[in-house]
Amino acid sequence: MTDTHPPSDPVRDAGDAWVESGDGRKFWGRFGAAGLLVHDPVRGVLLQHRAGWSHFGGTWGIPGGARHQFEDAVDGAVRESNEEAGVPADLIELRFASVLDLGFWSYTTVIVEAVAPFEPVVSDPESIALAWVPVAEVETLPLHPGFADSWPELRAQLDRRVTIVVDVANVVGSQPNGWWKDRAGAAQGFVSRLVGLAHAGTDASALGLDFDRWWPAYVAVVEGQARGARPDATAAGAGPSSRAGVSVVDAAGSGDDAIVDVVGGLQGAVVVVTSDRGLRERVERLGATTRGAAWLTDRLDRTV
């Protein structure tokens, strides 16, 4: 989608400007734009009735606007939704993102789920109204053309959950870095590093999924002397609290058996990270997909 500002309002940021394509089309946001699609499983999706002076004024779309220079698309979407609709960053969790990339300009739709009820607030002149619209009723509204084009595919994925279950003993044990000298410390450090990866998200292609990026939930299963490891919440550094997180399961006995139990209780897309052939066969029979230890350690090395 595109956006603009009231004629009487001065440009507020270097990114608040039009970008023009070779065929004369205009797109708002010198550094691209981003918007937030908030899904509440009970109430539907949060939509914005756009002011008449804005581009495609009078239509319904999602809160969003121009990104600031050097601003991450997620940060931009969260900021814009807070400025325009009062969306609280601490009450949403990231799910996935879809990018429309025209080469000279891009628009990122960031899809999040509301983890607790909140009421949106019209907090700037870009909105006539804000409303929670049941998913089945969205297409009955006069939609912004960009949102209308993307809505069918976005709707199909709103309820999808992605979980990555990690065989910590197997992954930590795959690297000859002296982990055996302090198994508990090695597991603690590894689990804390996962927070940074969860914060960054994962390319959809690496998960075999649609769209551009997903933020899976991570479940780290630890066993033996490594039990008690917990993620360091500060490991991801600064950023909105809407990023995905990491939970830890302490295996009472066999780590493999605990992982099978965890997978059996999950819904949605499940990826198990282990290089243990026997465990891979067990979880694949439950419908999970698997990745080897190097798949995860390579991503950790690039992210953290």
Looking at per-residue confidence, does 26 or 221 come out higher?
Answer: 221
Range of the domain at 50: 18-157
With tokens 């009231």, the residue in question is 6
Q: Reply yes or no on whether the pLDDT at 158 is more than 90.
A: yes
Same domain, 58 and 172: no
Closest C-alpha to 214, from 134, 111, 139: 111
Instruction: Count the residues in the chain.
Output: 304
- Condensed to tens digits (0 to 9), the pLDDT of residues 11-20 reads 568 877 788 8
Q: Reply yes or no on whether the pLDDT at 298 is more than 50.
A: yes
- Residue 219 near residue 243 (C-beta atoms within 8 A): no
pLDDT at 243: 57
Q: What is the mean pLDDT of residues 255-262?
A: 97
Same domain, 242 and 257: yes
Same domain, 181 and 149: no
Q: What is the mean pLDDT of residues 132-150?
A: 96
98 found inside a domain: yes
pLDDT at 304: 55
With tokens 């809407």, the residue in question is 242
**Rounded-to-10 torsion of CA 103, 10, 49, 118:** 100
Q: Please report, for residues 50, 62, 74, 101, 241, the alpha-carbon distance to residue 140 in angstroms, rounded to integers and kept in the order given.
A: 16, 15, 28, 28, 33
Share of the chain above pLDDT 90, in %: 70
Boundary residue ending a domain (157, 172, 199): 157
Same domain, 24 and 140: yes
Boundary residue ending a domain (157, 180, 215): 157
Dihedral of alpha carbons 103, 238, 74, 191, sign: positive
- Residue 294 near residue 206 (C-beta atoms within 8 A): no
- The CATH number for 221's domain is 3.40.50
pLDDT at 13: 80
pLDDT at 2: 45
SS3 of residue 150 by DSSP: helix
Boundary residue ending a domain (130, 157, 184): 157
pLDDT at 127: 81
Looking at per-residue confidence, does 43 or 30 come out higher?
Answer: 43
Cα 133 from Cα 216, distance rounded (Å): 26
- The CATH number for 34's domain is 3.90.79.10
248 found inside a domain: yes
- Condensed to tens digits (0 to 9), the pLDDT of residues 105-117 reads 999 999 999 999 9
Same domain, 140 and 51: yes
pTM, 2 dp: 0.85
pLDDT band per the 50, 70, 90 thresholds, residue 126: confident
- Residue 72 near residue 108 (C-beta atoms within 8 A): no
Same domain, 95 and 110: yes
pLDDT band per the 50, 70, 90 thresholds, residue 51: confident
SS3 of residue 95 by DSSP: strand
- Residue 251 near residue 229 (C-beta atoms within 8 A): no
Q: Reply yes or no on whether the pLDDT at 237 is more than 60.
A: no
φ, ψ dihedrals at 139, nearest 5°: -70, -5
Same domain, 170 and 281: yes
Average pLDDT, the chain: 89
DSSP string, 235-259: TT-SS-TTS--EEEEE-SS-HHHHH
Same domain, 180 and 151: no
pLDDT at 241: 46
195 found inside a domain: yes
* Number of domains the chain contains: 2
- Residue 168 near residue 226 (C-beta atoms within 8 A): yes
Q: Reply yes or no on whether the pLDDT at 53 is more than 80.
A: no
pLDDT at 25: 84
First to last CA, the chain: 33
pLDDT at 9: 52
Looking at per-residue confidence, does 77 or 230 come out higher?
Answer: 77
pLDDT at 242: 47
Q: Of 1-10, 102-111, 161-170, where does mean pLDDT reach its minimum?
A: 1-10
pLDDT band per the 50, 70, 90 thresholds, residue 211: very high
Q: Of 44-58, 82-96, 116-130, 181-195, where does mean pLDDT reach its minimum?
A: 44-58
Same domain, 167 and 190: yes
Cα 6 from Cα 259, distance rounded (Å): 55
Same domain, 97 and 140: yes
Q: Reply yes or no on whether the pLDDT at 8 is more than 80.
A: no
Q: Classify residue 68 by its DSSP letter.
A: P
